[in-house]
Amino acid sequence: MAETLINRVANSGIITINLEHYYPKAEFAHFDLKDFLFMEIILKEKDFRKLLKEIDWDQYQDKILLIYCSNEAIIPLWAYMLVASHAEGPVKETYVGNHEAYLNHHYQSVIENLDLSSYAEKRIVIKGCSNKPVPAGAYQTITRRLKPTTLSIMFGEPCSMVPIYKRPK
């Protein structure tokens, strides 16, 4: 007689949340202010304004424009404002900071605004492996948001989980 295989993970009622699903859909474009500095240390306003007018901003169409300076020059705050002002229209979004900082900001914002009511009184596993970079802060934020209402929170895959939180009885 053939044995019936039972998938205990599928029957466990555990809900998986994959934070990778919230990764930004738009492409990233980088705008390094270092390329506009005189001797890589000084930003000359007149020259900077002229160079910004010469840029084909359509190359950033529907992208997330990350504005930063990759060297240690002191950049006046108005420089970021000027770039964002010129980029407005073609770009999907501007952000002052690098890719890692943007992802932290993005995930924090997305998770804070998620409706998590459907996870109340449930057992949750936060998927650990992903093909896209999910910042550590995203895992902390989702845990903080879920903890008050869920029965338990685990990390990893349903077949191999690390317990994070279990509501006391």
pLDDT for 159 equals 75
Domain limits, the chain = 14-24+115-166, 28-91
DSSP sequence for 37-57: SBTTTB--HHHHHHHHHHS-G
DSSP string, 113-137: T---GGGTT-EEEEE---SS---HH
Please report how the helices 99-112 and 136-146 are oriented relative to each other, as an axis angle in degrees rounded to 10: 10
pLDDT in 10s for each residue of the chain, 169 residues = 566 544 444 446 799 999 999 999 999 999 999 999 998 889 999 999 999 999 999 999 999 999 999 998 999 999 999 999 999 999 999 999 999 999 999 999 999 999 999 999 999 999 988 889 999 999 999 999 999 999 999 999 877 899 999 999 8
Q: What global pTM score does this model have?
A: 0.83
Q: Which pLDDT score is estimated for 9?
A: 46
Quick check: 67 and 95 in contact, CB under 8 A?
yes
> What confidence score (pLDDT) does residue 84 get?
97
Q: What is the CA radius of gyration of the chain?
A: 23
- pLDDT value of residue 129: 83
